[in-house]
Structures are given as C-alpha cells and as structure tokens.
C-alpha cells in the first residue's frame, strides 16, 4: 500500500505518517467560535480537515475525530453584551448554523463536539497543575502562563527565545507574534462577563473568572484523546499564538509530548487578503446558496487547490467549480443509468477488457498516490477527469459497474455526493412502511417489524438501522 505522507509543521517537513497506536488515530481540530455565521474561509479549513479524516479512513485507520465548539471567549462575550443576551442564547443559532453548514458540505460528523462551557472543571484542573509546577502564576485575580519557564516555547511558530518579552502579560485571546508574552489562562471576574468558580491551591475561596481561549483546547483535546495524540489541525492563523500556547500548556502540565503532527491549512483570500469578518469582505455558505450555488460547488473549489496553498476566492472560480461538478454528476448519472438498462434488459455488457481493467487499476493507484501525498486533492481530481475522458473516448471498452464503483470509492475521500446524485428518492408509501416498522420495532413487535422489512425489500429497498434512525437504501 502507498504510504501516507503529511506535512508536519513541528518539523516543517513532509513525514511518513506513523500513528502512536496501531490502528486508531487521535485527531483534534479547532472548531468554530460561535459568535457569528461561519464564513467560507472557516469552511475551507473544515473541508481540509474532513479530507484529512477521510484520507486516514481510506488508508484503513479508525479515526477518533474531536472538534471543539468555542462557546465562551472575548468575541462571544462582546456579541452577547451588544445584543443584551446571555452567551448561550446568543451563540445557539450560530452553533446550529455551523452544523447545518458542515452537513451541506458533506463534512463527516466528528466523534465528539465538546463545548468549552461544559469543560470548565477540566480547564481549572489543568491550570492547577501548571500553578503547582510553577509554569503559571497569579496576578490581579487572573492566572498567567510564564512563557520564559517553558523550554520549548516558540518551537512550532519559530518564535526565538530572544524575541520573548519577559515579564510582559497579554490578556486578549488573539494577539500578534511579536507579543511573545505571558498569556492568560484564567481571566479575573469582570462585570458583564460570565464567570465560574475555580478552586486553585492555596486559595481559601474560589477564584471567580473565566478561561482563556487557549486552555479550552488543551483541556478538551486531552480529555477525549489522552495526554498524547496523533494529529492536531486548524487554519494557519492558529499557529501562533493558539497552537503554540496549547503545546506549552499541555506539555507543561503532563511532561509528555502533546501532539505528533501539526497540520495547518492555508487561508481563503478575498481580494488578495485573508477572508475575515473583521476585514469586511466575506461570504457565508448562505450567501452562496442565495446566489444559486450548490454548497458542494464550494467543496469542489476547495478541493481544486492544495490545502497548503492560499486560494483567492472569486464568484467566477466558484461558477467554474460548479460547472465541473455538474459535469461530473452528469457523467455518474449517465453511467448509473446505463448500468440499470443493462441489468433490466439483461443486455450483454462489456466485462472490460484486460487492457481497460489494467487502466482502472492504474487510476486507483494514481488516486491513492495523489491523496496519500499530503492530500493532493487537485491531482486526485485530475485522475477523476482522466477516467471520464478515457471512458468517453471508448465506452465499449469499459465495464460500467467497475468504473462506477471506482468513482464511488474515490468519493469516500472527495465527498462530492457522487452516490447521492444517482439515488432514487423513496416514495411516500415506502417512507410510511419504514415508519410503521420503526414503530413496531420500538414496541418490541419484532415479528411485525420483520414482516414489514420483507415487504420493503421486496420492492427494491433496504433498511439500515443507524444510531440516528433507520436509513432507506435503494438496492
């Protein structure tokens, strides 16, 4: 099998991926700060992380994918106060919108989505450890991390020891690299800010306050993935200070290596500058849908560039991506249609000469080499188009089923909805039968449920019971 190589920001090299445990990969991705709708720059990063997770699964690993939800930070508090809401009611619609967006983009659900406000205890425990080992100190009701005490501070982002501003402190969650200062772990209680009690050693009474942003990710990642895990990802703007500080907090508290591979995705640009709400030029997925674009057209556009290259977003390039995707969907529909005609009429079909099946084997190999080479999605898409072109030149040479299943196989990584595009929708009658069966099953009437299942199977459908309920699959 082709080996998987990933660019590791810790070493600034492409490395062969070797997981810490044999088959399970621990993967943490920094999730959304739910203070507004995600813009498509944020979504580009989530697509890159989804491709990474799918690639790991394609390579045969089981992935424990954790993505946090930052539901308390400076930006959220500012937004909540401006609208007169508490942080929960303020952020709830944005959280909901985030889940809708990722579903529309065919981003596979993570294993866990921990929320910061539900992990204050874990954060306080981590801060306590840092206080005990003298890597952190208290000042004016807050707790700070002393960057001069952590030997490897700056390694990830390339910040030099001499650039550190010893003794200076920074309270903001986000700041520039030239402020290599002691950063805040626990922020002293302020009026008009949510706060929690935390018991740190030596305090007669709890220290009321709220966590800094960076400690959130250290606490939540280690809670679900252990002190050491395989991959941590985010957008490249998180390299400093966020990921740098996460390493300092986690390794400082555990004395173990926090993460083996750091992967950082490049930005989506608008007018040559990083797309950001603060820059004023940004689109949400809803904006694109209102303009008539399919969300998957954006996914296709994101896949057309390497995740470590900047991508300048224009509506023209999105349109071109949408056209390519429509063409690909059309091709898959055509193949699927002709496959059904073959099977219905029992027409002889090409079994695919040895020449053609060798070609398909080569394509599979080319696809894997591209995707396993640090997720080269644009090259992987090029392989898809090679297949389309070869088939169109001499359709009679190919076995339609073999071509289709190869494309479906690639779509496990690409996530462009190739299977869904040919799926027949269940009729009302079939949906009603499925509901009836579910009712019977829940009531423990398994004989009735099985009987209905047989009926459903007889009319060409299959029921798959999933954790989120029964799924109907067209046989």
Q: Where do contacts with ligand AMP occur on this chain (CB under 6 A)?
A: 30, 32-33, 41-42, 44-45, 234-235, 237-238, 267-268, 274-276
Least separation, in Å, of the C-beta of 237 and ligand AMP? Answer: 5
Cβ-based nearer residue to ligand AMP, 130 or 217:
217
Contact call for residues 7 and 17 (beta carbons, < 8 A) = no
Near Zn ion by CB under 5 A, which window of 75-83, 211-219, 280-288, 439-447?
211-219
Least separation, in Å, of the C-beta of 184 and ligand AMP? Answer: 17
Least separation, in Å, of the C-beta of 91 and ligand AMP? Answer: 11
Q: Does 220 bind Zn ion (CB under 5 A)?
A: no
Least separation, in Å, of the C-beta of 224 and ligand AMP? Answer: 18
Closest-approach residue to ligand AMP (CB):
235
Cβ-based nearer residue to ligand AMP, 260 or 274:
274
Q: Does 217 bind Zn ion (CB under 5 A)?
A: yes
Binding site partner of 275, from ligand AMP, Zn ion, none, Cβ cut-off 5-8 A by kind: ligand AMP
30 is in an annotated binding site: yes
Least separation, in Å, of the C-beta of 217 and Zn ion? Answer: 3
Least separation, in Å, of the C-beta of 281 and ligand AMP? Answer: 10
Cβ-based nearer residue to ligand AMP, 220 or 404:
220
242 is in an annotated binding site: yes
Cβ-based nearer residue to ligand AMP, 153 or 282:
282
438 is in an annotated binding site: no
Q: Does 110 bind Zn ion (CB under 5 A)?
A: no
442 is in an annotated binding site: no
Size of the site for Zn ion (CB under 5 A): 2
Cβ-based nearer residue to ligand AMP, 54 or 274:
274
Distance CA 209, CA 185 (A): 10
Binding site partner of 438, from ligand AMP, Zn ion, none, Cβ cut-off 5-8 A by kind: none
Least separation, in Å, of the C-beta of 310 and ligand AMP? Answer: 8
Cβ-based nearer residue to Zn ion, 58 or 229:
229
The residues, ordered by sequence, that sit 6+ positions from 425 with a Cβ below 8 Å of its Cβ are: none
Q: Does 30 bind Zn ion (CB under 5 A)?
A: yes
Cβ-based nearer residue to ligand AMP, 70 or 399:
70
SS (H, E, C) the chain: CCCCEEEECCCCEEEECCCCCCCEEEEEECCCECCCCCEHHHHHHHHHHHHHHHHHHHCCCEEEEEECEECCCHHHHHHHHHHCCCHHHHHHHHHHHHHHHHHHCCCCCCCECCEHHHCHHHHHHHHHHHHHCCCEEEECCEEEECHHHCCCCCCCCCCCHHHEEEEEEECCCCCCCCCEEEEEEEEECCCCCCCEEECCCCCCCCEEEEECHHHHHHHHHHHHHCCCEEEEEEEHHHHHHHHHHHHHHHHHHHCCCCEEEEEEECCEEECCEECCCCCCCCCEHHHHHHCCCCHHHHHHHHHCCCCCCCEECCHHHHHHHHHHHHHHHHHHHHHHHHHHHHHHHCCCCCCCCHHHHHHHHHHHHHHHHHHHECCCHHHHHHHHHHHHHHHHHCHHHCCHHHHHHHHHHHHHHHCCCCCHHHCCCCCHHHHHHHHHHHHHHHCCCHHHHHHHHHHHHHCCEEEEEECCEEEEEEC
Distance CA 467, CA 471 (A): 10
Cβ-based nearer residue to Zn ion, 146 or 173:
173
Q: Could you check whether the bond before residue 241 is cis, i.e. omega within 30 degrees of 0?
A: yes
Distance CA 114, CA 123 (A): 13
455 is in an annotated binding site: no
Residue 206, phi-psi category: left (phi > 0), alpha (psi -120 to 50), beta (remainder): beta
Least separation, in Å, of the C-beta of 346 and Zn ion? Answer: 57
Binding site partner of 217, from Zn ion, ligand AMP, none, Cβ cut-off 5-8 A by kind: Zn ion
Near Zn ion by CB under 5 A, which window of 14-22, 24-32, 140-148, 374-382?
24-32
Q: Does 321 bind Zn ion (CB under 5 A)?
A: no
Near Zn ion by CB under 5 A, which window of 26-34, 182-190, 286-294, 464-472?
26-34
Per the annotation, binding residues for Zn(2+) are 30, 217, 242, 246
Per the annotation, binding residues are 30, 217, 242, 246, 277
Binding site for Zn ion (CB under 5 A): 30, 217
Per the annotation, binding residues for ATP are 277
């Amino acid at each position: 099998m082709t080996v998987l190589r990933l660019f590791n920001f810790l070493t600034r090299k492409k490395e062969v991926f070797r997981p810490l445990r044999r088959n399970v990969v621990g993967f943490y991705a920094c999730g959304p700060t739910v203070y507004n709708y995600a813009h498509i720059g944020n979504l580009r990063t989530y697509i890159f992380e989804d491709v990474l997770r799918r690639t790991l699964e394609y390579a045969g690993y089981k992935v424990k994918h954790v993505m946090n939800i930052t539901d308390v930070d400076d930006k959220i508090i500012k937004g909540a106060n401006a609208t007169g809401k508490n942080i929960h009611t303020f952020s709830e619609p944005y959280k909901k919108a985030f889940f809708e967006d990722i579903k529309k983009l065919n981003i596979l659900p993570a294993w866990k989505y921990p929320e910061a406000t539900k992990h204050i205890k874990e954060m306080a425990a981590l801060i306590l450890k840092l206080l005990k080992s003298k890597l952190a100190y208290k000042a004016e009701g807050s707790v700070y991390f002393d960057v001069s005490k952590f030997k490897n501070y700056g390694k990830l982002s390339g910040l030099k020891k001499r650039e550190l501003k010893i003794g200076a402190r920074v309270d903001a969650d986000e700041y520039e690299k030239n402020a290599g200062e002691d950063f805040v772990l626990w922020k002293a209680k302020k009026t008009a800010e949510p706060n929690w009690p935390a018991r740190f050693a030596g305090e007669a009474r709890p220290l009321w306050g709220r966590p800094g942003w960076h400690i959130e990710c250290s606490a939540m990642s280690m809670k679900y993935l252990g002190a050491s895990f395989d991959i941590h990802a985010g957008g490249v703007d998180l390299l400093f200070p966020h990921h740098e500080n996460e390493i300092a907090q986690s390794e400082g508290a555990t004395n173990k290596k926090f993460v083996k591979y750091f992967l950082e995705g490049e930005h989506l640009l608008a007018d040559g500058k990083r797309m950001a709400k603060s820059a004023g030029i940004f689109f949400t997925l809803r904006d694109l849908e209102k303009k008539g674009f399919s969300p998957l057209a954006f996914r296709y556009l994101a896949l057309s560039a390497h995740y470590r290259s900047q991508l300048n977003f224009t509506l023209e390039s999105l349109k071109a991506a949408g056209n390519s995707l429509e063409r690909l969907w059309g091709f898959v529909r055509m193949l699927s249609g002709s496959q059904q005609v073959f099977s219905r009429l029992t027409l002889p079909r090409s079994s695919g000469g040895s020449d053609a099946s060798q070609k398909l084997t080569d394509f599979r190999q080319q696809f894997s080499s591209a995707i396993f080479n640090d997720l080269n999605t644009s090259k992987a898409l090029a392989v898809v188009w090679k297949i389309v072109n070869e088939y169109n030149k001499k359709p009679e040479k190919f076995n339609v089923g073999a071509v289709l299943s190869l494309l479906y196989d690639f779509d496990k990584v690409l996530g462009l909805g190739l299977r869904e595009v040919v799926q027949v929708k269940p009729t009302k009658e079939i949906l009603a039968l499925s509901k009836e069966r579910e009712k019977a099953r829940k009531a423990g009437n398994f004989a009735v449920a099985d009987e209905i299942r047989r009926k459903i199977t007889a009319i060409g459908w299959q029921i798959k019971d999933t954790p989120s309920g029964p799924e109907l699959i067209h046989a």
